[in-house]
């Protein structure tokens, strides 16, 4: 019967691997998600079966856990808006890390409660893996919760909105190093005394504090990097826990999440022209301070923009967080279809790797609106086309189109941007002249060739579409 357990874990691992491969392309991503979910189902059923064989199955607790988790997951999946997806991803990362750390804690608790303590190499491996799982897991939990509230902009306490701080003095970096060293020392001491609860709770407490001080200095446009890194850490915590309990599926799944998350983190760093140590230790994301605006700009109306688009041979749409907030991706798709059919205009979409609040945010939204994947062009490929572009339509993309990134100063210094300012005419749809997430004013707003449509993205795109229909 144990052979069936091994086969079950092998099947779940294979489903995870093939599911991850399918996630590499938007057209196959839904099927990849289904494969991953099926793999997790197989892994859960296999684990329950193995517990039954060992006589350890607590059916009431298992059933309650599955029912409660399924209910929470379903409610979140149904109710969450795309604008809240980055916060949800950060929260899930934290829960994943905490789950792994709790499983590792339960194994160590067996020793404290009088269970048989392994000896020699087995003890060393178990305590090191448990310590690392606690370090990464609890650090991921607190760091992810802080990242979630940073993405939300704050938290409501008794009806009062409190902004999430971004604070990182230079002396905080040595503190981070000292905390990591302290955890390493405690793990070493726990090998000689695995039943010492002081070591255990000290590791948990320091790890939770480390997660906070790691994320606290990071803000602005660097948050997508943090989200992908926390995703990687949650997988690493799961892999460490897999070593403790001897679960091959958990080791494989955790390693896949850890590796893919780390690869994505480096992709995001490259897109931001940062190194990972710079993001973690130099607080490039900004202090959270917003520039005070003293300049003004007269807004245009939909009819003016429609008349100007009439006759344009090439239009490039630059989506940003404003599109996600207003949920206007369907109106954007309608706009592209209208001008393609009515004016025979070539339409493309310029996608910045970190547009929005998480990697792939814009791709997901536009795929939901059935925008052809071939029209979604990455930044490095599309930038060379802007000098030949008649009109660039920027929808709430502030930091990713801000020429200040080329200045070498400020939170956006050195970050590659969409070269929308190179287009012959720029139309920006935005509620106001307010600064973006990085807190930097955008000179693009005030250029002579820039037309501002002030208002909600969905309302402005609907008005623009109606104006085009009347031409």
Annotated active-site positions, please? 399
Which of 125, 126, 136 lies closest to 254 in space, CA to CA? 136
Residue 469, phi then psi, degrees to nearest 5: -65, -30
Phi-psi domain of 118 (left: phi exceeds 0; alpha: psi -120 through 50; beta: other): beta
The rounded Cα 173 to chain-centroid distance in angstroms is: 24
Q: Report the alpha-carbon distance of residue 105 to residue 108 in Å, rounded.
A: 5
3-class secondary-structure state, position 279: helix
Q: Would you tell me the crossing angle of helices 172-192 and 197-215 to the nearest 10 degrees?
A: 160
Cβ distance 444 to 401 under 8 Å?
yes
Q: Report the alpha-carbon distance of residue 31 to residue 394 in Å, rounded.
A: 32
The rounded Cα 432 to chain-centroid distance in angstroms is: 26
Q: Would you tell me the crossing angle of helices 457-470 and 329-343 to the nearest 10 degrees?
A: 20
CA atoms within 13 A on the CB side of 412: 22
Q: What is the DSSP letter of 115?
A: P
What angle is formed at CA 257 by the lines to CA 69 and CA 239, rounded to 5 degrees? Answer: 80
Cβ distance 203 to 135 under 8 Å?
yes
Please report the beta strands in 147-267, taking only residues with DSSP state E, as ranges in sequence order. Answer: 154-157, 160-163
Cβ distance 438 to 415 under 8 Å?
no
Cβ distance 278 to 437 under 8 Å?
no
Which of 290, 151, 163, 286 lies closest to 224 in space, CA to CA? 151
CA atoms within 13 A on the CB side of 95: 10
What angle is formed at CA 98 by the lines to CA 95 and CA 99, rounded to 5 degrees? Answer: 85
Residue 176, burial from CB neighbour count under 10 angstroms (0-12, 13-18, 19+) = middle
What angle is formed at CA 169 by the lines to CA 401 and CA 212, rounded to 5 degrees? Answer: 85
The rounded Cα 364 to chain-centroid distance in angstroms is: 13
């Amino acid at each position: 019967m144990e052979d069936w357990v091994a086969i079950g874990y092998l099947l779940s691992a294979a489903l995870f691997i093939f599911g991850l491969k399918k996630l590499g392309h938007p057209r196959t991503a839904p099927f990849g998600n289904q494969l991953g979910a099926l793999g997790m189902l197989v892994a859960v059923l296999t684990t329950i079966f193995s517990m039954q064989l060992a006589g350890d199955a607590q059916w009431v607790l298992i059933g309650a856990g599955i029912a409660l988790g399924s209910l929470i997951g379903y409610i979140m999946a149904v109710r969450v808006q795309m604008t809240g997806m980055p916060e949800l991803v950060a929260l899930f990362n934290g829960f994943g890390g905490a789950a792994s750390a709790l499983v590792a804690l339960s194994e160590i608790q067996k020793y404290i409660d009088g269970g048989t303590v392994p000896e020699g190499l087995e003890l060393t491996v178990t305590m090191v893996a448990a310590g690392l799982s606690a370090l990464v897991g609890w650090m991921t939990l607190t760091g992810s919760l802080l990242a979630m509230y940073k993405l939300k902009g704050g938290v409501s306490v008794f009806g009062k909105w409190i902004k999430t701080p971004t604070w990182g003095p230079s002396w905080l970096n040595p503190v981070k190093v000292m905390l990591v060293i302290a955890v390493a020392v405690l793990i070493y001491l726990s090998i000689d005394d695995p039943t010492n609860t002081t070591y255990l709770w000290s590791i948990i407490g320091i790890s939770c504090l480390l997660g906070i001080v790691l994320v606290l200095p990071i803000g602005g446009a660097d948050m997508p990097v943090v989200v992908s890194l926390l995703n990687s850490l949650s997988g690493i915590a799961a892999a460490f826990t897999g070593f403790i309990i001897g679960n091959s599926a958990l080791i494989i799944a955790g390693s896949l999440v850890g590796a893919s998350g780390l690869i994505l983190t480096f992709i995001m760093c490259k897109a931001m022209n940062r190194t990972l140590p710079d993001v973690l230790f130099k607080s490039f994301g900004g202090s959270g301070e917003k520039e005070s605006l003293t300049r003004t700009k007269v807004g245009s109306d939909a009819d003016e923009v429609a008349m100007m688009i009439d006759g344009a041979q090439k239009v490039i749409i630059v989506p940003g967080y404003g599109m996600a907030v207003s949920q206007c991706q369907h109106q954007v798709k309608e706009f592209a279809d209208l001008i393609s059919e009515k004016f025979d205009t070539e339409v493309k979409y310029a996608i910045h790797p970190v547009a929005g609040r998480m990697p792939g945010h814009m791709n997901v939204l536009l795929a939901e609106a059935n925008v052809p994947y071939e029209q979604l062009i990455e930044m490095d490929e599309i930038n060379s086309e802007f000098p030949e572009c008649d009109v660039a339509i920027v929808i709430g993309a502030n930091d990713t189109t801000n020429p200040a990134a080329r200045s070498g100063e400020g939170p956006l210094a050195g970050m590659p941007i969409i070269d929308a300012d190179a287009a012959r005419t720029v139309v920006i749809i935005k509620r106001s002249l307010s600064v973006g997430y990085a807190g930097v004013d955008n000179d693009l707003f005030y250029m002579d060739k820039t037309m501002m449509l002030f208002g909600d993205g969905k309302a402005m795109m609907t008005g623009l579409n109606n104006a085009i229909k009347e031409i």
